[in-house]
Every structure is written in C-alpha cells, then in structure tokens.
C-alpha cells in the first residue's frame, strides 16, 4: 500500500486517496491529485516496489477532459516519456487536476503470487460467504502455492499455501500439499455426504496455518475455514450452498447447525474439531470412529450451535472408543456413574472418620470428667471425710485416668492416620481400576482432577488436628484443676476453725 502512495506522491504535491481493491489477480488503487509536481527519480524508485512478475498500468485521467496519459513499462525511456507528458500539461496549465489509477495485474511465475495488502485480500476472500471464499482460494491454489507480501516477516505454511516475505521472492519452496490428501478425500466421501465434494476438494490441513499467523484477519478466516472443513469431515450431511455451512450430525440426538463468516474468533473450537478429525481419519476403522465421534459430539454440542462445543469432547470420544473396542459401548456411561458414586462414598467415609475421632474424644474426656465429678459429690456428701476432697489414693487413681485418656488419644490418632492412609490407597486403587477403559484425561475430568478427594483428605487432617488440640487442652485443664485442689487442701484444712 505504501509503495503506491509513494508512487503517486512523486507525481503530485496534493493527493487524496479514493479507493483500493485487491483480488487474486489484480490490485487497483485510485487517488485524486490537485497539483502536479513530478519527481521522476522518486517515481522510478516507487515503481520498483511492484514485483517483476506482475504487470502494471499507471494512468492519469485529467479533470474536465477525456485525455488519459498512461505508463505500462518499467524501462527508463517509457518513464521519462510519461513524466514528460505530465510536465508538458503543467506548463500549459499549472492547476492541472485529475485521478491517478494504479492497476497491477498479477503474474504467477514459479507458482508464486503477490499480495500487496493483507487486509484488502482478506476482505476479497471473505466477500460472498464461505462457499465464495472456498472457490476463490481453490482458484488461487490452482495457479500458485507461494503467497508473498512485504507485510509478512516470517514463513507460514498450510496444506495448500506457503505465506512468506517478498524478500524471499527468488528462494525456492516445496509444494506443501499433503501426501495422502486424495486418500482422505476418498475416505470422507465414503463416510460423509458432502453435496459439493467435487467443487471444494479441501481437507482441514489446508487451512491449518503454522505458526500462528500475525495478521489477525487472515488468521481468523483460516481458523473458521479449518473449523468448517473439520465439521464437513465429521458430519453425516454437509452443504456449502449459499453463504454458510449447514451440517447435520446424527448421534444420540440429531444436531443441525450453520456456520457463517461472521468474524468469529474460532481458533479454540476449530482446534477441538480438528483434533477429533485427525483422530477419526488416523489408523483404524474410520467408519467406526466417525460413528462414535458423532455420538459424543451430539451430546457435547450445546443445542444446534456447532461453535458451542463443550470441553472434554476428545477425551470422552477416546474413552468411548476404547470401550467400544472391548464390545461394550454402554460401559462408558456405567463407569462415569461408578466414578461419580465413588466420589460421594469417599466423602461419606471421610465424614465417618471424623465422627470416629470425635467419639473417642467424647468418651475419653467424659470418663475423666465423670471420675472428678463423682469424687467431688461423694466427698462433699461424706460427713466422716477428714482428708480433704482428693486424698492421695484418689489422686493416684485420677492420674491413672489421665494416663489412660492420653493413651486413648495416642491410639485414636494412630488409628485415624491408618484409616486416612487406607482411605487414600482405596481411592488410588479405584482410580487405576479403569485405566484400561478410560483415558487418563477423561478419568481426571470426571473426577474433577481429584478436587473432591483432596478436599476430603484436608478435612480429615484438619478435624484430626482440632480433636488432638481439644483433647490435650481438656486433659491439661482437668489435671491442673485437680492438682491445684490437691495442693491447697492442707491450707484449707488448717484455716478451717
């Protein structure tokens, strides 16, 4: 774009941009000029920005006149003649005005093509909807597989095009066509009904740009096309009639949806469908894989919105296929239910472990409290007692109860730790039980990456810690109280009249 602006600026002091348009075969840009000022050297330099394989025409249409001066050659004599004609007009009328049109007709030597504006070519490709876009890209791929632009700095490739910098114009490149493309198209035609299969012989790899393309508009366009053709290779019925894709997937339920070129950011959902497509058309029975993929897709697509694909579709498909290979498709739903039930049972087990610790605590503390309170009541009611509330014999028995309670504490703690270890080993064993039926990612998704299990383990540990602290605190309080009473008994007896 800048080369054409520079070109016109070398002819006039005042310019106004009127229009720009680019197609697969042409580039046209128009400027209105109000005051000529020819700089032949700059003009010749600007012309060098047009690729050598491309032909061009620079025309000047004079205002209020049907006269047109034009240039279609790069040689210096033609450039001098064109500039001389413009200078002659300026000499006759210093206020010459007109419209400068720069038209480039692209050449395709070496299976290469020039792109002068990525944004304009994107607009051209998008215009008319998906079918029109596919037609334009197929027509371009018939002439060239190397796309060169001064706006590109790196090299990007798909299964049909190579995008690279214009600076690499004379560098050879290998056709990126996928080796087994015809085999994939044949497999699609056997497993899917695509009405326009002969008109659009594309595969999803043809729109998988690597690395990520820097121009967001073209990147979004190719991601949408990758999404569209991935769905075509997975759906039972698909059509590109009109401006959108219409596809039907017949699985556990029938899903019929449409996709249009509406500027959506489809990178994520396109990658999801593309992954499923690659799996389905890899080794094994494509028909069987397509059947399973359609079943799972039909329950992972929200309503009839093909773009709304839930997370976890691929792991679910792989797991279902693994079970299918074992001649039991229904097992997948049963396994999911078993895993879900296990999560609930684990939570109940954790709750029982905490209750067990609490039972030990209450029983032990209550036995010590009961002894102290019973001793207090009996000694208080006894009229013959002269040895104080806690005699040496009773205090020894009290110490014995304290030790028994402490021993119970140690036992309860060890038992709780053993139960926790058993709880963890049972969970790990249950998880590994379905390793031959579920993929690791699908199993982790169903178990929520052990979120509930980890929460239960932490709950048991924290409850155990609180019980120990409370147990020790209660024993210390009771021991301290009784000991203080025992120590001050002689003083109380002495001070009593």
Confidence of residue 477 (pLDDT cuts 50, 70, 90): confident
Q: Please state whether the predicted TM-score (pTM) of the whole model is above 0.75.
A: no
Which residue has better confidence, 208 or 414? Answer: 208
Tokens of residue 60, six digits: 């000047």
Scan for tokens 């039926």, then name that residue: 437
> Which residue in 147, 150, 122, 136 sits closest to 22, CA to CA?
122
Residue-level pLDDT at 107? 93
Q: What are phi and psi of 25, to 5 degrees?
A: -115, -15
Q: Is pLDDT at 435 greater than 70 in this prediction?
A: no
> Which residue in 29, 27, 11 sits closest to 97, CA to CA?
11
Confidence of residue 103 (pLDDT cuts 50, 70, 90): very high
Q: Is pLDDT at 248 greater than 90 in this prediction?
A: yes
Residue-level pLDDT at 187? 93
Q: Is pLDDT at 495 greater than 60 in this prediction?
A: no
Residue-level pLDDT at 116? 93
Q: What are phi and psi of 165, to 5 degrees?
A: -70, 150
Average pLDDT over residues 80-102: 86
Percent over 70 (pLDDT), the chain: 80
Q: Is pLDDT at 104 greater than 90 in this prediction?
A: yes
What span, in angstroms and rounded, lies between the C-alpha atoms of 113 and 109?
8
Tokens of residue 135, six digits: 């037609």
Which residue has better confidence, 104 or 381? Answer: 104
Average pLDDT over residues 406-411: 73
Average pLDDT over residues 464-493: 72
Q: Is pLDDT at 459 greater than 60 in this prediction?
A: yes
Q: Is pLDDT at 78 greater than 60 in this prediction?
A: yes
Q: Is pLDDT at 118 greater than 50 in this prediction?
A: yes
Residue-level pLDDT at 391? 65
Residue-level pLDDT at 404? 72
pLDDT tens by residue, 343-372: 666 666 666 666 676 676 666 666 665 666
What span, in angstroms and rounded, lies between the C-alpha atoms of 448 and 443?
8
Residue-level pLDDT at 242? 80
Q: Picking from 95-109, 245-259, 427-441, which range would have the lowest pLDDT averaged per residue?
A: 427-441
Confidence of residue 135 (pLDDT cuts 50, 70, 90): very high
Confidence of residue 194 (pLDDT cuts 50, 70, 90): very high
Confidence of residue 329 (pLDDT cuts 50, 70, 90): very low
Average pLDDT over residues 221-250: 94
To the nearest whole number, what is the mean pLDDT of the chain?
A: 83
Residue-level pLDDT at 183? 93
pLDDT tens by residue, 30-58: 999 988 888 889 999 889 889 989 999 99
What span, in angstroms and rounded, lies between the C-alpha atoms of 69 and 50?
20
Residue-level pLDDT at 403? 75
pLDDT tens by residue, 254-267: 999 999 998 889 99
Q: Is pLDDT at 179 greater than 80 in this prediction?
A: yes
Contacts of 105 by beta carbon, 8 Å cutoff, 6+ apart: 25, 26, 54, 55, 56, 57
Average pLDDT over residues 425-433: 71
């Amino acid at each position: 774009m800048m080369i054409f602006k520079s070109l016109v600026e070398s002819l006039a002091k005042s310019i106004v941009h009127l229009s720009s348009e680019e197609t697969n075969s042409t580039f046209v840009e128009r400027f209105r000029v109000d005051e000529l000022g020819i700089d032949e050297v700059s003009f010749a330099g600007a012309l060098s920005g047009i690729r050598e394989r491309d032909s061009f025409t620079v025309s000047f249409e004079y205002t209020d006149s049907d006269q047109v001066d034009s240039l279609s050659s790069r040689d210096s004599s033609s450039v001098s003649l064109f500039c001389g004609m413009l200078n002659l007009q300026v000499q006759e009328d210093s206020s010459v005005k007109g419209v400068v049109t720069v038209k480039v007709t692209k050449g395709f030597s070496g299976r290469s093509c020039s792109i002068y504006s990525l944004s304009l070519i994107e607009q051209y490709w998008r215009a008319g909807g998906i079918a029109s876009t596919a037609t334009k890209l197929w027509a371009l791929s018939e002439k060239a597989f190397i796309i060169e632009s001064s706006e590109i700095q790196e090299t990007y490739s798909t299964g049909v095009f190579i995008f690279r910098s214009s600076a690499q114009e004379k560098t050879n490149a290998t056709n990126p066509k996928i080796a087994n493309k015809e085999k994939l198209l044949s497999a699609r035609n056997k497993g899917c009904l695509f009405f326009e299969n002969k008109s659009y012989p594309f595969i999803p790899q043809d729109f998988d740009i690597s690395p990520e393309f820097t121009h967001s508009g073209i990147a979004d366009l190719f991601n949408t096309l990758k999404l569209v053709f991935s769905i075509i290779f997975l759906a039972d019925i698909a059509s590109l009639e009109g401006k959108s894709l219409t596809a039907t997937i017949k699985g556990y339920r029938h899903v019929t949806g449409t996709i249009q070129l509406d500027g959506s950011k489809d990178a994520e959902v396109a990658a999801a469908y593309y992954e499923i497509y690659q799996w389905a058309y890899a080794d094994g029975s494509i028909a069987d894989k397509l059947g399973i993929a359609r079943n799972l897709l039909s329950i992972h697509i929200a309503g009839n919105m093909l773009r709304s694909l839930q997370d976890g579709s691929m792991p679910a498909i792989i797991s279902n296929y693994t079970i299918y290979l074992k001649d039991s498709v229904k097992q997948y739903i049963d396994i999911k239910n078993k895993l879900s039930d296990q999560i609930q049972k684990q939570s109940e087990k954790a709750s029982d472990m905490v209750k067990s610790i609490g039972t030990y605590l209450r029983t032990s503390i209550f036995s010590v409290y009961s002894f102290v309170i019973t001793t207090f009541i009996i000694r208080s009611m006894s009229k013959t007692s002269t040895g104080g509330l806690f005699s040496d014999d009773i205090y020894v028995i009290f110490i014995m109860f304290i030790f028994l309670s402490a021993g119970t504490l140690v036992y309860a703690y060890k038992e709780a730790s053993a139960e926790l270890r058993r709880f963890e080993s049972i969970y790990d064993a249950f998880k590994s039980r379905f390793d031959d039926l579920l993929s690791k990612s699908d199993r982790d998704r169903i178990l929520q990456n052990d979120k509930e299990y980890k929460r239960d383990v932490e709950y048991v540990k924290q409850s155990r810690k609180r019980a120990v602290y409370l147990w020790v605190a209660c024993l210390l309080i009771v021991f301290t109280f009784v000991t203080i009473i025992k120590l001050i008994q002689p003083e109380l007896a002495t001070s009593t009249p």
